[in-house]
Amino acid sequence: MSPAARTEPTAQWKPDVEVPVYSLKDVAQHKQKNDMWIVVHGKVYDVSSYAQDHPGGAETIEEVAGMDATVAFEDIGHSEDARELLQPMLIGVLNEHEAQAGKPKKAVKVVSRAPASSPAKPSSNTGIYLSAVALAALVAIGARVAVTARTMNHPMFHRLRTSRLGGPNDFWNGVILTTAAFLVTGTYAFNRVSALFSVTSGFTRYPPHKKASSAAPTRQVAGFLVPNEYKTLPLVRKDTLSPNTVRLTFALPTPSTIIGLPTGQHISIRGPVGDKLVARSYTPTSNNADPGKLELVIKLYADGQLTGGYLANLAVGDAVAFRGPKGAMRYRRGWAPALGMVAGGTGITPMYQLVRAICEDPADATQVSLVYANRAEEDILLREELDRFARLYPRNFRE
């Protein structure tokens, strides 16, 4: 079959298709490195061919091979791209009884029925007590007005009437009014001071997730990439960085053309593998500040579907199909005052994209710290570039 006749697996996907029904016992038989099945949301997937291309490494999949991986899959926070990649790997479904038993139970949380627009503020018991006393004082004023004439004829009140206060009720009403005014004012002041000194620091004051930005940049310049269409670029340079790592440089249509990739997003590469087309996601090391080119740093795995054959054998002049931008995140200046990054292996490329954008923007004061793990020193990708950013921009970036 010629490359032109091939179709992408995701394009062949049909929502309604007959597939075998398996039990967890059946799935458990497939947990070898070259034969790995997993269950995600009641569906059975054969991920053997994808393990080496997994951004977290093959070991991540090996840990859940032969098991229901639904919880692990959701805990990681996989993107829509990951869910899309799973589709062509579907080989069956879990039997209904086990699928229902394996569903994560929904957590139950007691919440207030109050409208979300008017959240309850923490209150002080002392403030409540003071408010109650003030109210009682005001009620007492009304009670004083209702004192009977017989009571007011008491000798003590007679002496008060002849004093300079001017009337039998003036003295006590004055005391009560003054007390009430003091308590109301004191309650307000107490609540203000309590709010000022209340302890709200710590990680619990921040939401567990930060919503992806949906706002478009103020200056959106059209670039090469088209989200729903694969377009080809020629390979113009191939540099070997290590025995299993290469830098691929592709030429954009004109020297002034930019990629059109917002910071925080990535691209998809599609290539022929056997008799089908395989697509994988990558983050370029170049960005919109590099007109005329698209650069990728890729680690090659011997048994990787796309990296082991197609990308490893690319020669200068070959055309490669790209699509994008992809991904929910779109970074903008001021997104957070500080960012902590943890990366391993080829997972450094999306981090590098963000580090570069922050460091090269003079108006961005975001502070970034990076922990980058590798098995061996020679496996460290983009080491020179990262060291240079740490040296030139110490206020923004540290390793």
The reply, when asked if residue 299 is annotated as ligand binding, is yes
The reply, when asked if residue 297 is annotated as ligand binding, is yes
Tell me: the pLDDT tens digits for 249-306? 999 999 999 999 999 999 999 999 888 888 889 999 999 999 999 999 999 988 888 8
Q: Is pLDDT of 197 > 80? A: no
C-beta separation of 319 from 233 below 8 A: yes
pLDDT-above-70 percentage for the chain: 63
The CATH number fitting domain 3-101, selected from 1.10.645.10, 3.30.450.40, 3.20.20.210, 3.10.120.10: 3.10.120.10
Mean pLDDT of 106-115: 46
Written as six digits, the tokens of 6 are 């091939």
The domain segmentation of the chain, as residue ranges, is: 3-101, 125-197, 231-326, 338-398
Provide the pLDDT for residue 182: 66
Sheet containing strand 266-273, edge to edge, reads 276-282, 266-273, 319-326, 231-242, 245-251, 293-299
The CATH number fitting domain 231-326, selected from 3.30.980.10, 2.30.110.10, 3.50.50.60, 2.40.30.10: 2.40.30.10
The reply, when asked if residue 22 is annotated as ligand binding, is no
Q: Is the pTM of this model over 0.85?
A: no
Q: Does domain 338-398 have CATH number 3.90.1150.10?
A: no
The reply, when asked if residue 103 is annotated as ligand binding, is no
C-beta separation of 338 from 368 below 8 A: yes
Q: For 49-53, 283-287, 324-328, which range has the lowest pLDDT when averaged over its residues?
A: 49-53
The reply, when asked if residue 151 is annotated as ligand binding, is no
Query: In whole numbers, what is the pLDDT of the chain averaged over residues?
Result: 77
* Per-residue buried b or exposed e for 213-235, using 16+ beta carbons within 10 Å of the residue's own CB: eeeeeeeeeebbbeeeebeebeb
